[in-house]
Amino acid sequence: MTDLSRLKWSKNVTFTPSEITFWDFPINELSKIFILHWKKGYEANAARPEEGDILLIRQHARITHVVQLFNKTVYDDASGYEFSIGRLVQILWKANNLNHAPHNTEIFGCPIKFPPNGKAHFLENIGDFNEHWNQRGGLPAFQNYVTGVLNEKGEWLNPLIALA
Protein backbone atom coordinates (compact mmCIF):
# COMPACT_ATOMS: atom_id res chain seq x y z
CA MET A 1 0.00 0.00 0.00
CA THR A 2 1.09 3.56 -0.70
CA ASP A 3 0.85 6.71 1.38
CA LEU A 4 -1.98 8.70 -0.22
CA SER A 5 -1.27 12.02 1.51
CA ARG A 6 -0.35 13.43 -1.94
CA LEU A 7 -3.65 12.31 -3.53
CA LYS A 8 -5.13 15.60 -4.70
CA TRP A 9 -6.21 15.11 -8.30
CA SER A 10 -8.53 13.18 -10.59
CA LYS A 11 -8.48 12.92 -14.39
CA ASN A 12 -10.84 11.33 -16.87
CA VAL A 13 -9.31 9.14 -19.58
CA THR A 14 -11.41 7.93 -22.50
CA PHE A 15 -10.13 5.34 -24.93
CA THR A 16 -13.10 5.24 -27.30
CA PRO A 17 -15.77 7.82 -26.45
CA SER A 18 -18.54 6.05 -28.40
CA GLU A 19 -18.18 2.75 -26.54
CA ILE A 20 -17.69 1.67 -22.96
CA THR A 21 -14.23 0.26 -23.40
CA PHE A 22 -11.68 0.58 -20.63
CA TRP A 23 -8.18 1.70 -21.46
CA ASP A 24 -5.75 -0.58 -19.69
CA PHE A 25 -2.06 -0.33 -19.01
CA PRO A 26 -0.07 -3.55 -19.34
CA ILE A 27 1.66 -4.02 -16.02
CA ASN A 28 5.20 -5.28 -15.75
CA GLU A 29 8.22 -3.78 -14.02
CA LEU A 30 9.04 -1.48 -16.93
CA SER A 31 5.53 -0.52 -18.04
CA LYS A 32 4.53 0.82 -14.63
CA ILE A 33 6.02 4.09 -15.90
CA PHE A 34 4.45 5.80 -18.91
CA ILE A 35 3.29 9.12 -20.32
CA LEU A 36 -0.26 10.05 -19.28
CA HIS A 37 -1.64 12.16 -22.10
CA TRP A 38 -3.60 15.40 -22.17
CA LYS A 39 -5.29 17.06 -25.10
CA LYS A 40 -3.19 19.55 -27.05
CA GLY A 41 -3.99 23.01 -25.68
CA TYR A 42 -4.22 21.75 -22.08
CA GLU A 43 -0.51 22.25 -21.36
CA ALA A 44 -1.20 24.61 -18.44
CA ASN A 45 -3.55 22.07 -16.88
CA ALA A 46 -1.05 19.25 -17.40
CA ALA A 47 1.58 21.35 -15.59
CA ARG A 48 -0.60 22.04 -12.52
CA PRO A 49 -0.03 18.84 -10.47
CA GLU A 50 3.27 18.94 -8.58
CA GLU A 51 6.02 16.35 -8.75
CA GLY A 52 5.00 13.47 -6.45
CA ASP A 53 1.30 14.31 -6.49
CA ILE A 54 -1.10 11.39 -6.86
CA LEU A 55 -3.98 11.30 -9.33
CA LEU A 56 -7.05 9.05 -9.63
CA ILE A 57 -7.73 7.89 -13.22
CA ARG A 58 -11.46 7.84 -14.01
CA GLN A 59 -12.94 5.93 -16.93
CA HIS A 60 -16.69 5.75 -17.56
CA ALA A 61 -17.42 6.96 -13.99
CA ARG A 62 -15.13 4.30 -12.49
CA ILE A 63 -11.71 4.55 -10.87
CA THR A 64 -9.39 2.20 -12.72
CA HIS A 65 -5.89 3.35 -11.74
CA VAL A 66 -3.99 5.50 -9.28
CA VAL A 67 -0.83 7.13 -10.61
CA GLN A 68 1.92 9.34 -9.25
CA LEU A 69 3.56 12.15 -11.23
CA PHE A 70 7.34 11.91 -11.54
CA ASN A 71 8.35 15.47 -12.34
CA LYS A 72 7.04 18.86 -13.48
CA THR A 73 7.90 18.36 -17.16
CA VAL A 74 5.11 18.51 -19.74
CA TYR A 75 6.24 16.42 -22.70
CA ASP A 76 5.16 16.95 -26.30
CA ASP A 77 5.86 14.08 -28.65
CA ALA A 78 5.58 16.47 -31.65
CA SER A 79 3.38 13.96 -33.48
CA GLY A 80 0.64 16.50 -34.11
CA TYR A 81 -1.78 14.01 -32.55
CA GLU A 82 -4.66 15.58 -30.61
CA PHE A 83 -3.35 14.02 -27.37
CA SER A 84 0.37 14.55 -27.93
CA ILE A 85 1.26 16.19 -24.60
CA GLY A 86 1.64 14.40 -21.30
CA ARG A 87 3.30 13.84 -17.96
CA LEU A 88 5.51 10.99 -16.83
CA VAL A 89 3.70 8.86 -14.21
CA GLN A 90 3.99 5.51 -12.47
CA ILE A 91 1.08 3.24 -11.61
CA LEU A 92 0.56 2.73 -7.89
CA TRP A 93 -2.79 0.89 -7.92
CA LYS A 94 -4.93 -0.93 -10.46
CA ALA A 95 -8.53 -2.16 -10.16
CA ASN A 96 -8.88 -5.94 -9.99
CA ASN A 97 -11.45 -5.96 -12.78
CA LEU A 98 -11.70 -2.89 -15.00
CA ASN A 99 -15.28 -3.68 -16.02
CA HIS A 100 -16.25 -3.75 -12.33
CA ALA A 101 -13.86 -1.11 -11.04
CA PRO A 102 -15.18 0.97 -8.14
CA HIS A 103 -17.71 3.60 -9.18
CA ASN A 104 -16.99 7.30 -8.57
CA THR A 105 -19.67 7.39 -5.85
CA GLU A 106 -18.00 4.53 -3.97
CA ILE A 107 -14.54 6.09 -4.24
CA PHE A 108 -15.56 9.64 -3.36
CA GLY A 109 -18.20 8.66 -0.79
CA CYS A 110 -20.79 10.84 -2.55
CA PRO A 111 -22.00 11.65 -6.07
CA ILE A 112 -19.59 13.99 -7.88
CA LYS A 113 -20.10 15.53 -11.29
CA PHE A 114 -16.75 16.16 -12.96
CA PRO A 115 -16.52 18.34 -16.05
CA PRO A 116 -16.18 16.02 -19.11
CA ASN A 117 -12.98 17.52 -20.46
CA GLY A 118 -10.03 15.23 -19.70
CA LYS A 119 -8.30 17.83 -17.55
CA ALA A 120 -6.76 17.06 -14.18
CA HIS A 121 -9.12 18.34 -11.50
CA PHE A 122 -7.86 19.46 -8.10
CA LEU A 123 -10.25 17.68 -5.73
CA GLU A 124 -10.56 20.59 -3.33
CA ASN A 125 -11.85 22.76 -6.22
CA ILE A 126 -14.81 20.43 -6.86
CA GLY A 127 -17.95 21.73 -5.12
CA ASP A 128 -19.56 18.30 -4.56
CA PHE A 129 -16.32 16.98 -3.08
CA ASN A 130 -15.99 19.92 -0.67
CA GLU A 131 -19.64 19.83 0.35
CA HIS A 132 -19.30 16.19 1.41
CA TRP A 133 -15.73 16.02 2.75
CA ASN A 134 -15.42 19.40 4.50
CA GLN A 135 -17.97 18.11 7.04
CA ARG A 136 -15.90 14.95 7.55
CA GLY A 137 -12.35 16.26 7.92
CA GLY A 138 -11.53 17.51 4.41
CA LEU A 139 -8.97 16.11 2.02
CA PRO A 140 -7.00 14.18 4.70
CA ALA A 141 -10.19 12.35 5.75
CA PHE A 142 -10.92 11.51 2.11
CA GLN A 143 -7.38 10.20 1.60
CA ASN A 144 -7.79 7.92 4.61
CA TYR A 145 -11.25 6.77 3.49
CA VAL A 146 -10.26 6.04 -0.10
CA THR A 147 -7.29 3.94 1.03
CA GLY A 148 -9.72 1.43 2.56
CA VAL A 149 -11.87 1.30 -0.57
CA LEU A 150 -8.86 0.82 -2.85
CA ASN A 151 -7.47 -1.92 -0.59
CA GLU A 152 -10.63 -3.95 -1.20
CA LYS A 153 -11.06 -3.26 -4.92
CA GLY A 154 -7.63 -3.58 -6.46
CA GLU A 155 -3.95 -4.24 -6.24
CA TRP A 156 -1.21 -1.98 -4.94
CA LEU A 157 1.93 -2.11 -7.04
CA ASN A 158 5.43 -1.58 -5.72
CA PRO A 159 6.63 1.74 -7.09
CA LEU A 160 9.79 1.56 -9.16
CA ILE A 161 10.94 4.86 -7.72
CA ALA A 162 9.82 6.13 -4.32
CA LEU A 163 8.91 9.81 -4.48
CA ALA A 164 8.47 12.04 -1.46
Q: Which domain holds residue 79?
A: 7-156
Q: Is 47 within a domain?
A: yes
For the chain, the domain total comes to 1
Alpha-carbon gap, residue 116 to 24, rounded angstroms: 20
Give the pLDDT score at 34.
87
Q: What is the CATH number of the domain that holds 134?
A: 3.10.590
Q: Is 164 within a domain?
A: no
Q: Is 25 within a domain?
A: yes
Give the pLDDT score at 28.
61
pLDDT tens figures, 2-46 = 799 999 999 998 765 555 556 665 566 666 888 999 999 999 999
Indicate if the pLDDT at residue 158 is higher than 90: no
CA distances for 93 relative to 24, 41, 66, 81, 117, angstroms: 12, 28, 5, 28, 23
Give yes or no for a contact between 71 and 33, defined as CB atoms under 8 angstroms apart.
no
- The region of weakest confidence among 23-27, 45-49, 57-61 is 23-27
pLDDT tens figures, 71-91 = 999 999 888 888 899 999 999
Q: Is 89 within a domain?
A: yes
Alpha-carbon gap, residue 162 to 32, rounded angstroms: 13
Q: Is 100 within a domain?
A: yes
Give the pLDDT score at 164.
62
Give the pLDDT score at 22.
61
